[in-house]
Amino acid sequence: MGGRSRAGSALHPAVSALIVSFVVVFVAELGDKSQLMALTFASRFRAMPVLIGITVSTAIVHAGSVVIGGGLGASVPTTAITVLAALAFFGFAAWTLRGDSLSADEAGKAGRTTRSAVIAVAVASSSPSSATRRCSPP
């Protein structure tokens, strides 16, 4: 019985939560649209401003998610959160399967869109889509 006791090597709950959160978000974000946006911006701009922008925007988005999730977790039963998350995913799936098309007016506007507007919309819409992965409980 020369092994160490597991009781002495247990991680503090906060450290465990930190590690699990890091690993889950890291794996979930691989190949994400926001990662592709970072790659695109890094090919056009210096690395440091891109890293600072990504860090600040990610921190703000995740801070909001943590605050909202903490409030919901404390006030809403886990079963209700699970059911609502499942319904939201089914709603997103139905919307995706339904498809979409542009009207003639929308197609004309899309043809006149400037490059800066495309970049702004791409950045603004890249992270919220990944938020749907974070709304289901662990």
In a domain, 95, yes or no: yes
> Which helix (H) or strand (E) segment is 63 a member of?
helix 47-75
Tell me, yes or no, whether 37 lies in a domain: yes
In a domain, 23, yes or no: no
Instruction: Quote the CA–CA distance of 64 and 66 in Å, as a whole number.
Output: 5
Is 77 strand, coil or helix?
A: coil
8 assigned to some structural domain = no
In 3D space, the residue among 94, 95, 59, 76 whose CA is nearest the CA of residue 135 turns out to be 76
Residue 98 lies in a domain: yes
In a domain? residue 21: no
**Inside any domain, residue 121:** yes
Determine the pLDDT at residue 118.
57
Number of separate domains in the chain: 1
Q: Are 11 and 3 in contact (CB under 8 A)?
A: no
**Domain encompassing residue 44:** 32-134
Give me the tens of pLDDT residue by residue for the chain, a chain 138 residues long: 444 545 555 788 888 888 988 888 887 777 677 788 888 888 888 888 888 888 888 889 889 999 998 998 899 898 988 899 899 999 989 988 887 777 778 777 767 665 555 566 566 656 554 444 444 444
Q: Are 34 and 127 in contact, with CB atoms under 8 Å apart?
A: yes
Q: Is residue 48 part of a domain?
A: yes
